[in-house]
């Protein structure tokens, strides 16, 4: 359970840590100090756990008048693409957190690495002692099977 | 389903009788499923369904419907048995599903370590790791990769039976060979078909599916893989 909490916390921190909001006055407000008005597991887990398990809102470190509106953070790299998070603020509180843009296939496709296809000859593998138990490939016809590597494997394994 | 199925069973501490009975039962199940789901047998339930002669489907057919719908959904339509010419054709999923059922019979009969290779779609009993070679799409007597497999691995391609893959969206087929690793074989099988058809689009979807990895090889001989796809090390 503890592990789950810390993981969730890390995720939230990862989401909001990268964002900086600009209030209408142009003042920069660190998002990570704004808390959610509604208790939710994700938000709470990023907060220090109180003994009573109380989930009410905590202090809001916004120095000036109410901040309202929403802003989209910069595109950030994640494991396979880029993502921007949209944060909506009403009365100094985060009321919405959503993925504003997920550059999917195009950037993914561009950053995909191409590899040359290795050619692993069965006699070389055998000489190295690499034991292969089965061969995965497009559907065999029974004629092709007779000449396939799987056919050879079966002949070796079964008397 | 018109293919060859190989069994690899660790028979240590098991009687010959137990092993041969388990294999007989598993084979019988495969024949039973072939009788029902063969597209080439005119009296199979699938053929009659495609001919519009079936009013109420069997429980097994319903199970296949559900799996197909799920596979269609998670592949965003790249695996779509309903979009095939001539009507509903679950062949790209049924082979893996049938192998899974046969493997489960082996487990029920007391076998703890086994692998089934149904025409290139491989499933292994939990707890075991088997090295599975992937056929090289252009070099018939060579492999292009070796993958340590703990659950399922399926490869789909257009090199063996000719051009038998169809893109539901009408475009060209992206890959000459596509492999999906992990999870259950019925879905890996369907997703391998989807990956062969959709290439990068489906590779991208695989990134978001927990426990599944994959790679494909295009006609130019380039290999593309998911970020978590791991190949067994082979000395050059």
**B16-20, B81-85, B113-117, B179-183: least confident range:** B81-85
- Which has more pLDDT, A16 or B147? B147
Query: Which residues are within 8 A (CB) of B43 and not within 5 positions of it... i.e. 6 or more apart?
Result: none
The residue assigned the tokens 């600009």 is A22
pLDDT of residue A10: 32
A123 CB-contact burial (10 Å; exposed 0-12 / middle 13-18 / buried 19+): exposed
- Closest chain B CA to residue A131: B131
Chain A residue with the nearest C-alpha to that of B223 = A115
* Mode of pairing for the β-strands spanning B5-9 and B114-118: antiparallel
Give A143 to chain B, closest Cα distance, Å.
Answer: 10
Q: What angle do CA A39, A99, A111 make, to 5 degrees?
A: 140
Of A108, A116, A120, the CB nearest to B143: A120
Measured between beta carbons, the chain B residues lying within 8 angstroms of A102 are none
The token pair at B42 is 């005119």
Q: Pick the residue with more confidence: B230 or B157?
A: B230
- The CA distance from B209 to B143, in Å, is 26
> What tokens does B214 get?
């994959």
- Cβ neighbours of residue A102 closer than 8 Å, sequence gap 6 or more: A81, A82, A83
Q: Do residues A118 and B177 make contact, with C-beta atoms less than 8 angstroms apart?
A: no
Residues of A in contact with B4 (CB under 8 A): 140, 142, 145, 150
Average pLDDT of chain B, as a whole number: 91
Say if strands A134-136 and B130-135 run parallel, antiparallel, or are unpaired. Answer: parallel
Structure tokens at B111: 């076998």
Q: Is domain B5-225 in CATH 3.20.20.140, yes or no? A: no
Q: Is B188 on the interface with A (CB under 8 A)?
A: no
Q: Which chain B residues touch A112 with a CB distance below 8 Å?
A: 200, 203, 224
Name which of A146, A151, A148, A153 is nearest A130 in CA terms: A153
Q: List the one residue out of B149, B140, B150, B232 whose CA is nearest residue B177.
A: B140
Cβ within 8 Å, pair B222-A153 = no
The helix or strand, by DSSP H or E, that contains position A123, with its residue range, turns out to be: helix A122-128
A34 — pLDDT class (breaks 50, 70, 90): very low
pLDDT in tens, B135-158: 998 887 789 999 999 999 999 987
- Which tokens belong to B113? 């370590």
Q: Do residue A120 and residue B234 have CB atoms under 8 angstroms apart?
A: yes
Probe site for chain B from A129, A138, A149 (most B CB atoms < 10 A): A138
Domain boundaries, chain B: 5-225
Which contacts (CB < 8 Å, 24+ apart) does range A100-107 have?
A100/A72, A100/A73, A101/A72, A101/A75, A103/A75, A104/B204, A105/B200, A105/B201, A105/B204, A107/A81, A107/A82
Reading the block at residue B114, the tokens are: 């086994």
Nearest-CA distance from A117 to chain B in Å?
Answer: 6
The domain limits of chain A are 2-111, 122-157
Contacts of A134 in chain B (CB under 8 A): 6, 8, 115, 117, 122, 130, 132-133
Question: pLDDT digits over B86-141, tens only?
Answer: 889 999 999 999 999 999 999 999 999 999 999 889 999 999 999 999 999 888 77
- The whole-number pLDDT of residue A48 equals 41
Count CB-CB contacts under 10 A for residue B127: 8
Distance CA B198, CA B174 (A): 6
- The minimal CB distance from A140 to the residues B119, B156, B234 is found for B119
Which structure tokens are listed for A67?
């901040």
Quote the CA–CA distance of B54 and B88 in Å, as a whole number: 13
For residue B172, count CB atoms less than 10 angstroms from its CB and return exposed for 0-12, middle for 13-18, buried for 19 or more: exposed
Question: Tell me, what's the pLDDT at A98?
Answer: 62
Question: What is the chain B residue with the closest CA to A113?
Answer: B224
Question: In 3D, which of B236, B232, B235, B209 has the Cα closest to residue B150?
Answer: B232
Q: Which of A115, A133, A137 sits opposite B130 (nearest CB)?
A: A133
């Amino acid at each position: 359970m503890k592990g789950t909490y810390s993981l969730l916390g890390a995720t939230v921190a990862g989401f909001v840590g990268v964002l900086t909001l600009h209030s209408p006055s142009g003042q920069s407000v660190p998002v990570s100090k704004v808390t959610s008005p509604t208790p939710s597991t994700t938000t709470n887990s990023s907060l220090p756990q109180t003994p009573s398990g109380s989930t009410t809102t905590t202090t809001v470190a916004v120095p000036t008048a109410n901040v309202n509106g929403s802003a989209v953070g910069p595109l950030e790299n994640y494991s396979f693409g880029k993502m921007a998070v949209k944060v909506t603020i009403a009365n100094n509180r985060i009321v919405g957190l959503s993925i504003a843009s997920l550059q999917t296939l195009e950037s993914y496709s561009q950053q995909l690495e191409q590899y040359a296809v290795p050619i692993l000859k069965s006699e070389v593998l055998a000489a190295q002692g690499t034991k292969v138990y089965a061969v995965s490939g497009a559907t065999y016809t029974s004629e092709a099977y007779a000449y396939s590597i799987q056919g050879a494997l079966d002949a070796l394994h079964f008397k | 389903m018109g293919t060859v199925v190989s069994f690899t069973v660790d028979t240590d501490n098991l009687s010959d009788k137990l092993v041969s009975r388990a294999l007989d039962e598993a084979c019988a199940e495969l024949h039973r499923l072939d009788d029902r789901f063969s597209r080439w047998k005119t009296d199979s339930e699938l053929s009659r369904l495609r001919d519009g002669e079936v009013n109420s489907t069997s429980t097994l057919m319903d199970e296949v419907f559900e799996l197909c719908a799920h596979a269609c959904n998670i592949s965003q339509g790249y695996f779509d048995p309903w979009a095939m010419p001539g009507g509903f054709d679950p062949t790209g999923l049924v082979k893996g599903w049938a192998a899974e059922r046969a493997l489960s019979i082996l487990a029920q009969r007391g076998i703890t370590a086994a692998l089934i290779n149904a025409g290139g779609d491989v499933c292994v009993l939990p707890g075991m790791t088997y090295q599975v070679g992937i056929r090289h799409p252009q070099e018939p007597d060579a492999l292009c990769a070796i993958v340590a497999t703990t659950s399922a691995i399926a490869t789909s391609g257009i090199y063996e039976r000719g051009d038998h893959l169809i893109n539901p969206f009408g475009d060209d087929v992206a890959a000459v060979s596509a492999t999906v690793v992990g999870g259950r074989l019925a879905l890996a099988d369907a997703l391998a078909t989807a990956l062969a058809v959709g290439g990068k689009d489906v590779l991208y979807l695989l990134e978001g599916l927990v426990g599944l990895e994959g790679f494909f090889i295009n006609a130019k001989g380039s290999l593309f893989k998911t970020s978590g796809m791991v190949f067994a090390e082979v000395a050059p």
